[in-house]
Copies of this chain bind each other. A is one copy, B any other.
């Protein structure tokens, strides 16, 4: 496996070093770029700098500043979670799903990983003039089916149309409302040395499926997106681990590597990943190797990372594996004290290397 860091210039490296210092010192990195690039949408370093350097200070509030997958507000006696996501995936349909499936599952999963049972979704579509009604109908049906599977209702919507050539058929924005489960006591800031790192199944499936579906590479393989609702996984994890469940994240843009980096920084700990333990389909591993991309940076749309206290880790892993489709869930590493705010990989050959935040965007428009 090679590093997912194409097109890294000397200036990028300097900037990265400065930002890392900011992150470790818990200061907001400054947003200094003159123009928006594809990297700002990739979920890695540039996205993080844009969000923490521009959005968070401008909207200045404690809920957003937590940078969780969903914002939580207290209304009456309920704790409600709210999250939003735009979907701009190309192509609209791919093996294992379509933009409609992603739009429901992606948002449902952002609720689930903050411990919130999904209740309702809103749906805003930007359609391209000239779009075939059959394609629209197919996606509307995909959305309806995915919503039923996830147990949520679409309670409000909006439709806009833009001229030909402007929106690649359609962009979809879904926003989810969920109720935080009483069993959930989660925070990205509470990781402790000794905690175990679990993943709910094989990694890299979605991003690799999209990559091959674009047909830009002379490569064919049976790889399907893992798009699915993660609430059933979260439900059994909350039951099995209760207060020993420290934190969850769904590993979408930027992959498992980005999630682990964010958590390491948030808690000021190190994460050590055991490369041999990472579950990965042979077809995905093969495709990533040929394309020169590390699957740890590839987007998933139905996989979560859970950090669990050691005394509950085996119980939690058994619970995940009991969910159909999650038989490959695995314990892939542990939380350590040093080096603070960093993720290290113990390679199959016994060495160690740093697994940093993603720089650049090796694979745009993945979700």
Interface residues of A in 90-114 (CB under 8 A from B): none
A154-B123 in contact (CB<8A): no
Provide the residues of chain B in CB contact with A147, threshold 8 Å.
59
Provide the residues of chain B in CB contact with A55, threshold 8 Å.
123, 140, 154, 157, 159
Point out the residue from B173, B179, B365 that lies within 8 Å of A75, measured CB to CB.
B179
Q: Give the contact-size bracket for chain A.
A: 35 or more
* Measured CA separation A78–B179 after assembly (Å): 13
* Measured CA separation A37–B158 after assembly (Å): 15
Query: Contacts A41-B160, A133-B35 hold; do A167 and B165 have CB atoms under 8 A apart?
Result: no
B73-A75 in contact (CB<8A): no
Q: Hey, which bits of chain A sit against chain B, CB under 8 A?
A: 31, 33-42, 47, 50-51, 54-55, 58-61, 63-64, 70-73, 75-78, 80, 82-88, 119-120, 122-133, 136-137, 140-141, 143-144, 147, 153-163, 165-168, 171, 173, 175, 177, 179, 364-365
Given A50-B159, A70-B156, A166-B166, 18 additional A-B pairs, CB 8 A: A33-B133, A35-B130, A36-B133, A37-B130, A38-B129, A41-B127, A41-B159, A41-B161, A55-B123, A59-B144, A60-B144, A75-B76, A76-B77, A82-B156, A84-B157, A126-B126, A162-B168, A171-B171
